Amino acid sequence: MAGRARPGKIEEDARPFAARSWRRRASSHHRGEGIIKVRKGRYLFTSESVAEGHPDKVCDRISDAVVDAYLTADPHARVAVETLATTNRIVLAGEVRAPKGVTTDAIEEVARQAVKEIGYEQNGFHWRTLELENYIHEQSADIARGVDAAGNKDEGAGDQGIMFGYACDETEPLMPAPIYFAHSILRSLADARHSGTEPGLGPDAKSQVTLEYMDGKPTRAASVVVSTQHSDDLDQDAVREIVRPHVENVLPTGWMCPEAELYINPTGRFVIGGPDGDAGLTGRKIIVDTYGGAAPHGGGAFSGKDPTKVDRSAAYATRYMAKNVVAASLATRCTIQLSYAIGVAKPLSLYVDTHETGEVDEARLGDVLCEMIDLSPRGIREHLSLNRPIYARTAAYGHFGRPPEPDGGFSWERLDLVDALRSAFAA
């Protein structure tokens, strides 16, 4: 691992971050002393996912749809919006700085459309009849003062915080296998529901996948849990028969768990679901959104935030860097951390850990990454083209491990640093 920090006073500096950083000599620590080591022998690891109709994901979707609405009106809009959802009610709150043309009526329509697209037309939560309260207001001038570029001062971070990115070679999109399969099961069920193939399924669902590992490599599913909302005329056995093929089709051949370890709607009934069953809030599924617990998390949620908020943009940048490191075969696992101070453009620290799998010096790797990417909030936004309405689609089934899209969606999943990284470390 390689940690970087600068002791003493925090101030702007025109020099590149790599040149300004303080770093321990390699001899002062043991290689592989990282957050996560590659564990030997047999062990089990579990991750969960939740579907787009889960109450918290409904809120994430609405908050991100609101972000997209403001970015459509002004790519440089500032947005921080939270959503609460409960029985037939949505409450919006937060701060924005954007054109006056984005009206209260327009935001209400955005929220209702998000609920409609998810598929909620039930008595306790219907996109058309639900009540909506909107408490979105202007952004604090004090926050804007610290973040805005002015004179010789570059745009500062929207808040302090730490952000982590991770990649590993367990799956094709370089994601940990348990969260990847947990997402995939729910996406498969959602596709069947939306297409009309399985009209008895409801929008609310959860999955949990436990994989058996041997010497750090996943080998099979030890157990799978799926709970899905369903129509009143389906019993537990019927739901099991609907769900089982989706689990079997997602898992690699020979990986299916024993029948006794396949838990489908363990409570027996799941008719009342979504915000009618449990209240939802934006930002409560941060582990589902990232790596399923296989990597550290800085604690900041993504949804409802425009890309000047480093909770979002820097987490995307760290994933982007870690994924390219693994894709370049410089390591089979990589964790990267960044940290920021509010109003300060340059990151305070960069941390790289390849968990005893690296082929190159981690300290040098950190220097190379800093040379390739401007890690200021503005630099990240420009490099990844984040000032676009691309966020509603990220609200369910993970922000990572998704293919980059032609309009700039999931740009942080690109592999356009691979050749440069390989060249930097060529013999």
Q: Which residues are catalytic?
A: 54, 56-57, 82, 95, 206, 270, 278-279, 284-285, 305, 309, 311
Residue whose C-alpha is closest to residue 274's, from 129, 394, 125, 131: 125
392 near 66, Cβ under 8 Å?
Answer: no
**Residue environment code for 279-313, b if the CB has 16+ CB neighbours within 10 A, otherwise e:** ebbbbbbbbbbbbbbbbbbbebbbbbbbbbbbbbb
Q: Which residue has the tokens 């702007």?
A: 12
* Cα separation, 184 vs 48, whole angstroms: 11
- How wide is the angle at C-alpha 233 spanned by C-alphas 229 and 237, nearest 5°? 70
**How would you classify residue 401: left for phi > 0, otherwise alpha for psi between -120 and 50, otherwise beta?**
left
Distance set, CA 370 to CA 282, 347, 351 (Å): 32, 10, 11
CB atoms near residue 154 (< 10 Å): 18
User: What single DSSP character describes residue 69?
Assistant: H
* Cα separation, 343 vs 334, whole angstroms: 29
How many CA atoms does the CB half-sphere of 8 hold within 13 Å? 6
